[in-house]
Amino acid sequence: MRPTFLLVLVAAICSGQTAQPVSLTNADFASSIPVMAMGSGETLYVAYRSFNRMKRSDHLEVAAYDAKTRKEVQRRTIAVPSVHGPRVADGLYLSNDGKMLAYAETHEPGFVLLISTKDLSEIRRSEHLPFASEDRHRLFSGFDAKDSLAFASNRPGGIRFIRIDTGTLKVVSEANTGGPHQPDVGVGSIVWVPSERVTWIATSPDVWKQYTEDGQATGQELRHRGTTNGVLALGNNEVLTFFGRWADGEVVTYKDHRTEELKLQCSPHLYGTSNDPAYAGAICTTSPDREPERGGDKILSSEFLLLQLSGPSIIWRQEMSFINVAEGHGLDMWFQRGNPLIYRSGDQVRIVAPGKSPELNFYEVALSK
């Protein structure tokens, strides 16, 4: 990064404030990371598993907070399938009418749980998700435009897209891309926009192509050389991508055959999405810290970047711990990152992020006028 560019970048960064953190009752971030959703009136919904001393869990904690005062307003403990050791969650999503939350774990013992936002009571559940052993990189994307639950998985014969009715929790539609699918090596995650029925697939290490759910190429194609650290599809033929390793990184935006790049002296990874498509989060690291007594490298420090996608540019940065959890082995390994919840509120962008302790940190970033 050139010094002149760095000076301009620093001058453009907005100011931010940190609010008092909220401790999460019975949380253990080494075993379960909370998933979050924002409702009307800035009601923050949080869900996470609680564990006993033997690292066993059979309960899900669901709580609602007033995001402005950070006061807990409701809490419910719900019995869920028992697990031992770390557990990866696949998301907590709010329905389009704001009346229902959906929480899912897509690998065995998988289940989906529908929860009322009125009192956090259970509406219904299914412990029989439509997946088989060949379904890799299982994805839960919440509610689609018609409030069906949207699931996807990767198979050698193509990516499956499944929609489930919330009234019956039965499959109402299924599509398959046919030949195009995500390789099991490299970036294997599914990049999907259920509302537009399109997906982005890495057809080579340097090429991402957009396809319809039935496998037709749309002609949208991003070409960029480098190690891909994450891809976020934003709709309207727009994609946010992260490239690089350690001190040599880039954030690249693509929209309808045009790309823009932001050079970084760190390795960026997607770390949080926003209710406003103009913003997203990244976690950035420069090098692994040595821990010879543990026999390897481990990232001990990292920095959060709040990105404005036009440009793209950094509008705020904050030292932040990279929180993650892994479960399983080999091709059956599942990962979850502590993705912050990012949302626009008036002339501020607000960020709720898990911290090192079992707590949520609140940040407020005033936008430049």
pLDDT per residue over 155-171, tens digit each? Answer: 888 999 999 999 999 99
Task: Answer yes or no: are the C-beta atoms of 165 and 143 closer than 8 Å.
Answer: no
Going by C-beta distance under 8 Å and a sequence separation of 6 or more, which residues neighbour residue 168?
A: none
pLDDT for position 186: 53
Which of 234, 239, 235 is closest to 222 using CA atoms? Answer: 239
> How confident is the model at residue 2, as a pLDDT?
31
CA distance 35 to 92: 6
Residue 369 confidence (pLDDT): 72
Give residue 226's pLDDT. Answer: 85
pLDDT reported for residue 10: 35
Which of 10-24, 51-65, 329-343 has the highest mean predicted lDDT (pLDDT)? 51-65
Statement: residue 16 has pLDDT above 80:
no
pLDDT value at position 184?
A: 65
Helix (H) or strand (E) holding 11: helix 3-12
Local confidence band at 179 (pLDDT 50, 70, 90 cut-offs): confident
> In the predicted model, what is the mean pLDDT of residues 119-140?
95
Interatomic CA distance for residues 1 and 294, integer angstroms: 33
ω into 156 cis (within 30 of 0) = no
Q: What percent of the chain has pLDDT over 90?
A: 76
Cβ contacts of 329 within 8 Å, gap of 6 or more: none
Where does the pLDDT of residue 300 fall: very low under 50, low under 70, confident under 90, or very high at 90 and above? low
Predicted local confidence at residue 292, as pLDDT: 47
- Give yes or no for residue 289 having a pLDDT over 90: no
Residues 6+ apart with CB under 8 A from 210: 198, 199, 200, 217, 218, 219, 220, 221, 237
Residue 91: helix, strand or coil by DSSP? coil
The C-alpha atoms of residue 155 and residue 132 are separated, in whole angstroms, by 10
Q: What is the pLDDT of residue 59?
A: 97
Of 13-27, 62-76, 231-245, 346-360, the range with the lowest mean pLDDT is: 13-27
Least confident range from 62-76, 86-100, 323-337: namely 323-337
User: What mean pLDDT is reported for the chain?
Assistant: 89
Beta bridge partners, 75, equal 63
What average pLDDT score do residues 210-219 get? 97
Please determine, for residue 49, whether its predicted confidence score (pLDDT) is greater than 70: yes
Burial pattern 191-219, b for ≥16 Cβ within 10 A else e, equals: bbbbebebbbbbeeeeebbbbebebeeee
Give pLDDT tens digits for 319-348.
Answer: 998 899 999 887 778 999 999 999 999 999
Give the span between the Cα atoms of 342 and 359, in whole angstroms.
16
Q: How confident is the model at residue 189 (pLDDT cuts 50, 70, 90)?
A: confident
Q: Burial, 27: exposed, middle or buried (Cβ in 10 Å; 0-12, 13-18, 19+)?
A: buried
Q: Cα angle at 204 between 138 and 246, to 5 degrees?
A: 80
Whole-number pLDDT of residue 64: 98
Q: How confident is the model at residue 299 (pLDDT cuts 50, 70, 90)?
A: low
Reply yes or no on whether the pLDDT at 4 is more than 50: no
Going by pLDDT thresholds of 50, 70 and 90, the confidence category of residue 1 is very low
Q: How confident is the model at residue 6 (pLDDT cuts 50, 70, 90)?
A: very low
